[in-house]
Structure 1
Amino acid sequence: MIRGVRGAVTVKENNETEIIEATRMLIRQMIQENNIEAEAVASVFISVTEELTAAFPAKAMRSLEGWTYVPVMCMREIPVEGSLPKCIRVMMHVNSDSPQHNISHIYLRDAVRLRPDLNASSTT
């Protein structure tokens, strides 16, 4: 079974270092809380809001040992009026035997507003 593991994080500034560090923090927490191994990941989609142009957040995943061959695609989020700015969203497609309700979706910083019903995540 392939499960979607969702996550999101915000940044304060549009700069490469902050985008990469925030994405790395988010992905590491997604991996840790869901016991994900790179070999079990079919693909990863990463979207950014339109004002984040300083870096490809996929670069964060490429820095993780063992994640070199995981297919990753970056894209721009739909610019809906009033949506959360400076936000990076991740969708991992993971082969897993876990039931859907056992998947931990991770929302950090201001991104906790995206899914207040899933408030078990840290707001680091």
Structure 2
Amino acid sequence: MASTEQHGSLQCSGSEQHFTAVVSHEGYGAGEDGRLVTIDGTLSCPLPEFQLGLERDNPGINPDPEILVLKLVETRPTGTVAQVVTETKVHGEFRIDSRVERVWIRNLDVTVPLVSGSAG
């Protein structure tokens, strides 16, 4: 499988309504208050067997402390695969501090507000 990040544009697509960002206070010891955000989404990919992941991305020169900046990483299947649009799940967990209010997946241009989850 080859990462599409190395080859340019993303193959899979989705929008804000396809994602959730749930924050929990489970004492992970990260940031100022030990919060963990769990991001789940479903994207439409042009082929089955795409592998999707989320990684922290460069927040820029003047980062907004209220935004966790991420990027979607795709790994395209190799070999012969039927060309069928497939709903593919993506999941990521990130430690954040108390200032973060939303997640921006930069290369999808998707912004997801944080919602509170259970308190452990």
TM-score, normalised via structure 1 length: 0.30
**Max radius of gyration: which structure?**
2
| Structure 1 or 2: more strand by fraction | 2
TM-score, normalised via structure 2 length: 0.31
| Structure with higher RCO (Cα < 8 A, 6+ apart) | 1
| Structure 1 or 2: more helix by fraction | 1
